[in-house]
Amino acid sequence: MQFRSINPFTGQIIGTYTSHDQNDADQIINLVYGEFMNWKSQSIIYRAKLLRSVADILLGNIDYYSASITLEMGKVIRESRAEVEKCARCCMYYSDNAGKMLHNEPLVVSHGNAYIRQEPLGVILAVMPWNFPFWQVFRFAAPALMAGNTCLLKHASNVPRCAMDIEQIFIKAGYPANAFRTLLISSGQVEHVIDHPKVAAVTLTGSELAGSQVASAAGRNLKKSVLELGGSDPFIVLEDADIEKAAETAVKARMINTGQSCIAAKRFIIQKSVANNFTKRFIECLSGMQYGDPMQTETDYGTLARPDLAREIAVQVRNSIDKGARVLYGKLPETIDSAYFPPMILTDLKPGMPANDEEIFGPVACFYFVETAQEAVEVS
């Protein structure tokens, strides 16, 4: 089996990567566990020095790494550069502060001396998504490595280039070869990794379904898990707001990463007294955004990360329209033959419609109009 890296804007194959079978995965797990026995004994000062080197490598090669992100999952290049910079800041933060976080905490007891000591867990598995292919990894890896753990990355199958780039960054920074390793495995192999006795814990960012499966496997094995799952965050606009600024901010909040963000604003709940002005300005800002090649700095948004994601959104929108939702802006394509999906605004949404009940992971804004602030809270 091979993983293919495909540019979603052009449809061209960037590269292919040979996957790991179960035996390969077991060997890597054993190597990473073996390194843990050494890594946990390294000083905080030494770990911090290496993590600072990671930040230097990220910033020193920002053009290459930001291009990797954009070419592989379609994020516009400005946002890719910001993502790499954020990863570097994350590494700097934990390099500077982990020592204080991990310092023994004295306890006052009636007899003798006592303190709380922070100990690493061991090998940590991270199941990470494609939408922020560098950030999601570094925000897990930086604190985990500083705490003395070693790391396994199971990245999304459509970003193998980013996954291997990240592994190489840690090696270039001077980390032991098996302190951080990538597993090129399918989602179906994740449960086996969680079951492995030398894996201590797992973290996942992804869908509710994937989260429930990972949590179930972790729970069955009595292993710690940390999950960040999807959501459909409300953006409430009341009549005392600066409507122009609110609308401009709302468009940015919906269109970040072409709408593919767990924490993006997705449902806009607007008081009716300002609804017309807000909607007009929102549409002006949205229609003013430039679609195009994500490698060009003037591009505001590009395609989604994969064609199947565009088709999935089309099904959600079509089913919602069939059940009575109304299109305020944009047009649903008759067919989806690429990763492109146009910005849209839907309203008249009710329970039972996918656009109301489910997260739409793309450039579709859902508008709700309410009379009062209390109603806005209730709808949210």
Q: Which residues are catalytic?
A: 228, 262
For residue 345 the two structure tokens come to 């605004």
Angle, in degrees to the nearest 10, between helices 62-73 and 160-172: 160
Q: Which amino acid is at 178?
A: N
Q: What whole-number distance in Å separates Cα of residue 321 and Cα of residue 349?
A: 9
Q: What whole-number distance in Å separates Cα of residue 62 and Cα of residue 17?
A: 23
Q: What whole-number distance in Å separates Cα of residue 244 and Cα of residue 7?
A: 36
Which residues have a Cβ under 8 Å from the Cβ of 60 and sit 6 or more positions away? none
Q: Which of 33, 63, 39 is nearest to 51 (CA)?
A: 39
Q: SS3 for 83?
A: helix
Q: Where are the alpha helices (DSSP H) in 177-257?
A: 190-195, 208-220, 243-255
Q: What whole-number distance in Å separates Cα of residue 5 and Cα of residue 17?
A: 8
Strand partners, 3: 17
Residue 157 contacts residue 186 (beta carbons within 8 Å): yes
Buried b (16+ CB within 10 A) or exposed e, 335-374: ebebbbbebbbbbbbeeebbbbeebbbbbbbbbbbbeeee
Q: SS3 for 165?
A: helix
Q: Which amino acid is at 362?
A: G
Q: What is the pairing mode between strands 199-206 and 326-329?
A: unpaired
On the CB side of 270, how many CA atoms lie within 13 Å of its CA?
26
User: Where in 48-134 does DSSP place strands (E)?
Assistant: 105-107, 114-116, 123-127
Q: What whole-number distance in Å separates Cα of residue 370 and Cα of residue 378?
A: 10
- Residue 338 DSSP code: S
